[in-house]
């Protein structure tokens, strides 16, 4: 048996002890392996929140890095820790998961299995929490590149929480890149799901993609139509720009607001005149989206905005489609 862990009350003491374990890993007679394992098992959340800053002081080719990645990947506590916003931010959790996945490519399967543990008659309460599910889905988007997690995502497509359904549908669509699969979801009652599944085809080049986007143009929801036009634009469809111009003249303010958002997202200077008109729209949401779009195009192209636009009051940076 190894020596018991010392009392590490302060974070400074904990961090110093963790860094000493990493430094002494390769030293003859070192018990760093057992001490690192004990640190993880005694407080998985604290270990996960502390390990990347500690590893920053360790050479990239140090064997201890591979050992720690394997230790974390094997831990049954890892998914719940990554899902917990009280432990670390989503950005920090994604960074940790991405670092582990470079050495342990099956991490995405572990996270997918954890998501499934929240379903059924006796669900894991953490894995059944919609906010934590969404965090793991965001992390999966960063670490997984394959279709092997799609079967787990498909089981979330009928989840009771609409945000979970929407996010799971988008990820499944991104991984599959199948126009046929996306088309099946265009009749889904939830407009969030329809919008996200259309967005999941952005950049796809397979058969039927253009037809799916053109079908989505007939959708009654502004986000679905806007995402379809963006998809056509990405494919180089010559009608996409004019469709967006028409959308900017739509009688519905929500459609005009989405048109302004899409123009900014595409960062194409040809939309500057239309955005100038939308900047005078009677609806505040349309004006805000137009202002953000103009600023985004200016930043992307280096073009100066008209003086009246530059002097306009700045709004919240959050886009609303």
Nearest-angstrom CA–CA distance, 220 and 229? 14
Which among 176, 196, 228 is the end of a domain? 176
Asked whether residue 118 is domain-assigned, the answer is yes
Residues 130 and 104 both lie in one domain: yes
> What size, in residues, is the chain?
321
Counting residues of the chain whose pLDDT is more than 70, the rounded percentage is 93
For the segment 259-269, what is each residue's pLDDT rounded down to a tens digit? 999 999 999 99
Residue with tokens 């634009």: 233
Q: Does a structural domain hold residue 215?
A: no
Range of the domain at 58: 12-75
DSSP summary character for residue 160? S
| pLDDT of residue 317 exceeding 80 | no
Which of 140, 159, 176 delimits the end of a domain?
Answer: 176
Q: What is the pLDDT of residue 118?
A: 92
The last residue of one of the domains, among 115, 142, 176, is: 176
Residues 60 and 87 in one domain: no
Mean pLDDT of 51-66: 93
pLDDT band with cut points at 50, 70 and 90 for residue 6 = confident
Q: Tokens 């302004």 identify what position?
A: 260
232 belongs to a structural domain? no
Dihedral sign for Cα 122, 125, 131, 135, please.
negative
C-alpha closest to that of 278 among 306, 307, 301, 257: 257
Does one domain contain both 82 and 141? yes
Distance, in Å, from the CA atom of 15 to the CA atom of 33, rounded to the nearest integer, reads 16
Residue 120 within a domain = yes
95 with 157, same domain: the answer is yes
Same domain? For 95 and 167 the reply is yes
Indicate whether 84 and 56 sit together in one domain. Answer: no
Question: How far is residue 201's CA from residue 210's CA, in Å, rounded to a whole number?
Answer: 10
Residue 36 located in a structural domain:
yes
Q: Is residue 228 part of a domain?
A: no
Secondary structure tally for the chain: helices H, strands E? 19, 0
The DSSP secondary-structure symbol of 318 reads -
Do 85 and 48 belong to one domain? Answer: no
Q: How many CB atoms neighbour CB 318 within 10 A?
A: 7
* Residue 125 and residue 47 share a domain: no
- Determine, yes or no, domain membership for 260: no
User: Does residue 191 fall inside a structural domain?
Assistant: no
Q: Domain tally for the chain?
A: 2
Using one digit for the tens of pLDDT, what is the confidence trace for 109-146?
A: 999 999 999 998 888 999 999 999 999 999 999 999 77
């Amino acid at each position: 048996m190894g020596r018991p862990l010392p009392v590490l009350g302060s974070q400074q003491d904990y961090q110093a002890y963790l860094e000493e374990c990493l430094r002494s890993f390769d030293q003859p007679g070192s018990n760093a392996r057992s001490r690192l394992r004990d640190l993880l098992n005694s407080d998985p959340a604290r270990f996960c929140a502390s390990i990347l800053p500690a590893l920053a002081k360790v050479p990239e080719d140090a064997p201890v890095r591979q050992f720690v990645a394997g230790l974390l990947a094997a831990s049954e506590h890892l998914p719940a820790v990554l899902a917990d916003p009280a432990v670390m931010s989503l950005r920090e959790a994604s960074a940790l998961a991405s670092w582990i996945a470079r050495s342990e490519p099956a991490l995405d399967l572990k996270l997918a299995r954890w998501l499934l543990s929240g379903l059924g008659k006796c669900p894991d309460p953490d894995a059944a929490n919609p906010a934590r599910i969404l965090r793991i889905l965001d992390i999966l988007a960063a670490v997984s590149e394959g279709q092997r997690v799609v079967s787990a995502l498909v089981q979330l497509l009928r989840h009771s929480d609409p945000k979970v359904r929407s996010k799971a549908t988008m990820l499944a669509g991104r991984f599959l890149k199948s126009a046929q699969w996306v088309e099946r979801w265009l009749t889904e009652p939830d407009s969030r799901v329809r919008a996200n599944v259309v967005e999941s085809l952005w950049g796809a080049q397979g058969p039927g993609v253009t037809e799916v986007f053109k079908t989505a143009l007939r959708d009654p929801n502004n986000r679905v139509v806007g995402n379809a036009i963006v998809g056509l634009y990405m494919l180089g469809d010559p009608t996409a720009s004019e469709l967006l111009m028409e959308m900017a003249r739509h009688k519905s303010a929500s459609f005009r607001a989405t048109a302004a958002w899409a123009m900014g997202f595409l960062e194409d200077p040809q939309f500057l005149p239309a955005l100038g008109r939308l900047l005078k729209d009677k609806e505040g949401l349309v004006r805000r989206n137009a202002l953000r779009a103009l600023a985004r195009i200016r930043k992307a192209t280096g073009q100066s905005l008209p003086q009246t636009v530059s002097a306009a009051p700045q709004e919240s940076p959050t886009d609303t489609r």
